[in-house]
Structure 1
């Protein structure tokens, strides 16, 4: 099999999930179709309710993503490269992409000056192949469109190859090799952030379990709007009133709904009002679906706007978010291994060493909800008991490695200033 044949086979991995990614993106953007809306309802609403978004999928992805925050690396030099590449914000973009689409990728290479260059990539442009024995990435490919056609970069452990097609939107054919450069790292410089805990080849979107429930929820909201338009408003009626026909023989309503008062000379006329429809049943049905979403996702009821009053205390909030916190901690473990590999590649690029020889760990912020007073009280007690050093205690409070260094430097300056002041006073 030629390189071009292998290239086309790997490029198919990008295209085979394009429809799935498109659907997931539409749900995240709140632009999904009204799946359960009947043609009769569309006609009754005169197509005025063609789009309704109850965006639970976005809420789920963003809520978990907010709890996945890398606060530092065990190697200060690697943390500096992390910041120079904007990963202090871009790593959260990678998490959101992985939670949304199931996969995201990070490419590590070198700038002309020898410093690491790190970019976060979308699963809509990147695909990887893995070793069936070790499940490690054995090759990767990135494809993107430009004004001059379609570009492809093929990453392998020993070489990086660039391909180009003059056709815009080229899929798997029509490419020619542009250049090949050696890969001194000895490993594929593409790291795969896979969302999921099962031994599968691709990740799973965090929204997968709530897509059909979101459709049900949207349908109930549409029904609620339809009933509110045509049945909830009380309707008036009149009997014993002579109907009037126009010149074409069409019967006209002698009492249009716009009139505030109905008047007739007919003695036998009677007037009344029909009771408006009770919409409480829709509220109850929406509550059932919301609680199902809460059970499936771990989102607490106060985040979904159900369950009555908000939790009465910080402890109550923390308890209600236990399932969500456990879910975020599981993602920290999965994504943490990927970010550790990114840090190893960055260090290898910087110092010219084997990535496997680099010892570096990733530090995460606490994913649980805790008030500042609670967190400070717990950390201070552990520090006072001698169980935590000062630098680690500061990181537990959510300070980044740079902020910890700044705090320690300021404390040192204050200590020197206080010492000089005490000497002056003593003299």
Structure 2
């Protein structure tokens, strides 16, 4: 069997446990850590899972601000409309958002570009199905594998710079976690005219040697466990100790026919407790307070906000007074800065994807293509603030197309629409009959 196939298959298997654990935290189904045996018994089956899903919030707070809005060839101010048409035809406006979510959850996601019946075919892939090998010197992808289960069989596609090979499992496979280690049968091999591996990793980079990326949730997992434990303890306390416990002394203990003690009083709210014995005394213990839990929960939540760059109004820490617009912008400064950093990192990967799309469509060398990715503005602005800033920039001579892109967050398609409308309005104002000119 191909050594590359085995090495990449082993790499997928080795990462499966870590990725599955991250999945549980993203979905909020992780087991409740730190919960004592007594607390579990007290809760019984009334609280199987209690999770305040801040890890998912940390991922979505970033992902929702990362929007690819176009591509521009080097040296050109106009967007590449043909490339954007391929992008939209492959439904990448939605798929790119999913790629960002997976890259932030797992540390990486992947995009595969190949030729389809209607032009370039672009698909977004999960780190649970795709693995790559990089050149240790250049860090370029030298081989990639996609592996999945369908129709009761295991399927694998090995991507190399000069060829692409398909394999199927010799035996039936029902569980994706039980893929065969070596028993693969060759199905077909086709040439790869691109000269590069058509698989692009989108990596949430950490340090230099973390080539497979890091999860945006890593720093939050233990804090989330601590927070969920506090909330579970608070639920146990509220169930058993937050209501006053009454006591009575000087009563004769009655027993049933089996010798078991019988409760002398009902717990119904409208019942009156009474005793004819003059030595009987009644009283109650103070109820347990939950203030300590609330303080501890607030402390853990603040630490989660500090590590995740989530602003206080995302975490519910502002109280009853809503923050002002300026306060929101100030609180979101770290979050926005992180978004700009991710735009730089993910932008390089999306530029590689765009190069492959052009190479497939035009038959050119993808390494000879230079282009930029256009991103939407990740900052929070009211329409009035954005319009005011745009008007001031236009008044000092900044081109309208630049202002619409940078300040208003317009996509290249929207900017083209504005420019077309401006030209039409100018011709109408000059009394030019376009129909007559065409005729």
Alignment equivalent of 2:292, drawn from 245, 260, 281: 281
Moved more, 31-40 or 72-81: 72-81
What aligned pairs does 1:120-199 form with structure 2 within 5 A after superposition?
Answer: 120-166=124-170, 167-168=172-173, 169-199=178-208
TM-score where L is the length of structure 1: 0.94
| Structure-2 residue corresponding to 1:366 | 377
Alignment equivalent of 2:252, drawn from 242, 254, 257: 242
SS of structure 2 residue aligned to 1:394: helix
Change (3 A) 1:225 1:108: same
| Alpha-carbon distance in 2 for matches of 1:306, 1:312 | 11
| Structure-1 residue corresponding to 2:213 | 203
SS of structure 2 residue aligned to 1:344: helix
Whether the 8 Å contact between 2:220 and 2:304 is mirrored in structure 1 is yes
| Alpha-carbon distance in 2 for matches of 1:118, 1:227 | 53
Gaps of 5+ in 2: 73-79, 434-439
SS of structure 2 residue aligned to 1:144: strand
Whether the 8 Å contact between 2:376 and 2:411 is mirrored in structure 1 is no
Give per-residue Cα distances to partners, 1:218-249, cap 9 Å, x unaligned: 00000100100011111222222222211111
Moved more, 365-374 or 401-410: 401-410
Whether the 8 Å contact between 2:169 and 2:180 is mirrored in structure 1 is no
Give per-residue Cα distances to partners, 1:56-85, cap 9 Å, x unaligned: 110000111111111111122211111111
Whether the 8 Å contact between 1:125 and 1:142 is mirrored in structure 2 is yes
Alignment equivalent of 1:269, drawn from 275, 280, 283: 280
What aligned pairs does 1:5-404 form with structure 2 within 5 A after superposition?
Answer: 5-74=3-72, 75-113=80-118, 115-166=119-170, 167-168=172-173, 169-199=178-208, 200-258=210-268, 260=270, 261-310=272-321, 312-387=323-398, 389-396=399-406, 397-404=408-415
TM-score where L is the length of structure 2: 0.92
1:395, CA displacement in angstroms?
Answer: 2.1
| Alpha-carbon distance in 2 for matches of 1:290, 1:356 | 46
Whether the 8 Å contact between 1:7 and 1:172 is mirrored in structure 2 is no
1:317, CA displacement in angstroms?
Answer: 0.7
Whether the 8 Å contact between 1:9 and 1:172 is mirrored in structure 2 is no
1:399, CA displacement in angstroms?
Answer: 2.1
Moved more, 295-304 or 163-172: 163-172
Moved more, 305-314 or 222-231: 305-314
| Alpha-carbon distance in 1 for matches of 2:110, 2:192 | 18
| Alpha-carbon distance in 2 for matches of 1:46, 1:138 | 53
| Alpha-carbon distance in 2 for matches of 1:229, 1:197 | 44
SS of structure 1 residue aligned to 2:371: coil
Give per-residue Cα distances to partners, 1:190-228, cap 9 Å, x unaligned: 001111232223111000000000000000000100100
SS of structure 1 residue aligned to 2:4: helix
Change (3 A) 1:347 1:421: closer
Give per-residue Cα distances to partners, 1:86-107, cap 9 Å, x unaligned: 1111111000000001110000
What CA RMSD, in Å, does the superposition of the two structures yield over aligned residues?
1.7
| Alpha-carbon distance in 2 for matches of 1:148, 1:185 | 32
